[in-house]
């Protein structure tokens, strides 16, 4: 399979097989009720993404695959926590997610404890559900932030309109999900009519009902900060290090766009998804700075870093890295992992049970 970071993968137009794999993966879980905590389809298999018996994605280390359900007898593991960016939505395969790249760079197993659409509280719940499965945890990196912000707007809309179907609204939440095709075969005239008619997507959300962007940012930042303090209390009296990294959002970390990303955004702007609508008004740099600063102040003493500011340190920052506003291709995932590794000094650590090859850091 051609890696997603090759130029053709960022070209606008119909989705390629890689994205179709992710479409099928996300749509498998569309029947879930939003108030019930559950992960993705269990035992999902494709050429792009695969999950274990718990619905968690595999990562790869030293030629072997690992997951929360299949740790291969490893006593010490590390955890990458978050939403779809941490999950690696956009990678060409399980071997090219951020967790797999961290495993390659550090020589240690990094497990994916991530799920599409999870907010800060749900990320913590996921850890609590599976905490008994882990032995020694070396590092927990929470690569997150945007889903919690989006959930603030979604909660307002759901609270203000009881007539909306909870499941249908939730189904339109993910930016990556496209409208499903009809199950029954269509006639020639039906296909011609659909080709000429405007493209229809999920029912647009009533964003005019949202409170001001600064109020949503404050609530989301406080929620993230409180949750990180809960994480910190859980890690007390352990040898685990906890780090929060605010995930990148394309408008927050780039002043100018590479050609491929410019074409990608133009294509996405033709059919804005509910995820984009729920980020309305918060995509300028001043909002981003205020958001991160409040998270950092509320989460003290948990170390917090802003990948939107750090990402430009990558030697490949000028390349096409994003496949949409918040997901990355293989090159982007590898660049994220290198910045994280260098910032936290992970590659310099030495453990008695570990053999680490020389790694050139960003």
CATH of domain 7-44+59-108+116-180+192-346: 3.40.50.1110
Q: What is the pLDDT of residue 168?
A: 53
The better pLDDT of the pair 115, 34 is held by 115
Q: What is the pLDDT of residue 336?
A: 98
Q: Phi and psi for 360 in degrees, rounded to 5?
A: -90, 120
**How large is the average pLDDT for residues 77-106?**
97
- How far apart are the C-alpha atoms of 20 and 51, rounded to whole Å? 16
The better pLDDT of the pair 142, 39 is held by 142
- Confidence class for position 179, pLDDT limits 50, 70, 90: very low
Which segment of 63-67, 102-106, 172-176, 346-350 scores lowest on mean pLDDT? 172-176
Strands (E), 174-252: 241-246
Which segment of 146-160, 217-231, 246-260 scores lowest on mean pLDDT? 146-160
- Confidence class for position 203, pLDDT limits 50, 70, 90: low
**How large is the average pLDDT for residues 311-329?**
96
Average pLDDT, the chain: 82
Question: Over 50: is that where the pLDDT of 98 sits?
Answer: yes
Which of 136-145, 169-178, 343-352 has the largest mean confidence? 136-145
Q: What is the pLDDT of residue 221?
A: 98
| Residue 31 structure tokens | 């029947």
Which of these, 19, 232, 56, lies nearest to 8 by C-alpha position?
19
Which segment of 192-206, 253-267, 320-334 scores lowest on mean pLDDT? 192-206
Q: What is the pLDDT of residue 276?
A: 79
Question: Over 90: is that where the pLDDT of 170 sits?
Answer: no
Q: Phi and psi for 30 in degrees, rounded to 5?
A: -70, -15
> What would the pLDDT profile of 263-308 be if each residue is shown by its tens digit?
999 998 887 777 877 887 888 888 999 999 999 999 999 999 999 9
- Confidence class for position 185, pLDDT limits 50, 70, 90: low
Which segment of 80-89, 90-99, 192-201 scores lowest on mean pLDDT? 192-201
CB proximity list for 127: less than 8 A, separation 6 or greater: 79, 81, 113, 140, 231, 234
pTM: 0.81
**How large is the average pLDDT for residues 150-163?**
74
Question: Over 70: is that where the pLDDT of 202 sits?
Answer: no
Q: What is the pLDDT of residue 15?
A: 55
Q: What is the pLDDT of residue 177?
A: 54
Which of these, 155, 204, 141, 55, lies nearest to 341 by C-alpha position?
141
Q: What is the pLDDT of residue 187?
A: 53
What percentage of the chain reaches a pLDDT higher than 90? Answer: 59
Which of 1-10, 187-196, 282-291, 318-327 has the largest mean confidence? 318-327
- Confidence class for position 184, pLDDT limits 50, 70, 90: very low
- Domain regions of the chain by residue span: 7-44+59-108+116-180+192-346
- How far apart are the C-alpha atoms of 94 and 114, rounded to whole Å? 13
Q: What is the pLDDT of residue 183?
A: 41
Residue 67 gets which letter from DSSP?
-
Q: What is the pLDDT of residue 274?
A: 78
């Amino acid at each position: 399979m051609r890696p997603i970071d090759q130029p053709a993968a960022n070209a606008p137009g119909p989705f390629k097989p890689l994205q179709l794999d992710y479409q099928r993966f996300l749509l498998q879980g569309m029947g879930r009720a939003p108030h019930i905590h559950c992960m993705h389809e269990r035992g999902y298999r494709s050429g792009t993404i695969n999950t274990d018996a718990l619905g968690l994605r595999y990562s790869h280390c030293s030629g072997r695959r690992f997951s929360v359900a299949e740790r291969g007898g490893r006593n010490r593991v590390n955890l990458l926590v978050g939403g779809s960016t941490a999950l690696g939505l956009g990678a060409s395969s399980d071997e090219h997610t951020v967790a797999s790249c961290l495993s390659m760079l550090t020589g240690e197993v990094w497990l994916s404890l991530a799920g599409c659409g999870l907010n800060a509280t749900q990320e913590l719940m996921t850890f609590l559900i599976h905490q008994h499965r882990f032995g020694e945890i070396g590092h927990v990196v929470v690569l997150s932030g945007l889903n919690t912000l989006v959930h603030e707007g979604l909660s307002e809309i759901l609270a203000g309109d009881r007539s909306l179907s909870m499941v249908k609204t939730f189904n339109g939440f993910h930016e990556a999900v496209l409208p499903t095709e009809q199950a029954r075969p269509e006639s020639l005239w039906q296909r011609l009519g659909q080709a000429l008619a405007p493209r229809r997507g999920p029912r647009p959300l009533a964003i005019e009902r949202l409170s001001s962007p600064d109020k949503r940012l404050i609530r989301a930042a406080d929620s993230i900060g409180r949750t990180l303090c809960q994480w910190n209390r859980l890690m007390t009296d352990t040898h685990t290090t906890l780090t929060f990294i605010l995930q990148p959002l394309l408008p927050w970390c780039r002043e100018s766009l590479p050609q491929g990303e410019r074409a990608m955004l133009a294509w996405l702007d033709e059919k804005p998804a509910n995820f984009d609508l729920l980020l309305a008004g918060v995509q300028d740099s001043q909002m981003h700075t205020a958001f991160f600063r409040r998270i950092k102040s509320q989460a003290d003493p948990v170390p917090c870093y802003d990948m939107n500011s750090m990402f430009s340190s990558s030697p490949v920052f000028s390349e096409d890295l994003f496949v949409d506003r918040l997901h990355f291709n293989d090159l982007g995932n590898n660049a994220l992992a290198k910045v994280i590794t260098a910032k936290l000094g992970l590659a310099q650590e030495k453990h008695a049970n570990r053999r680490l090859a020389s790694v050139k850091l960003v």
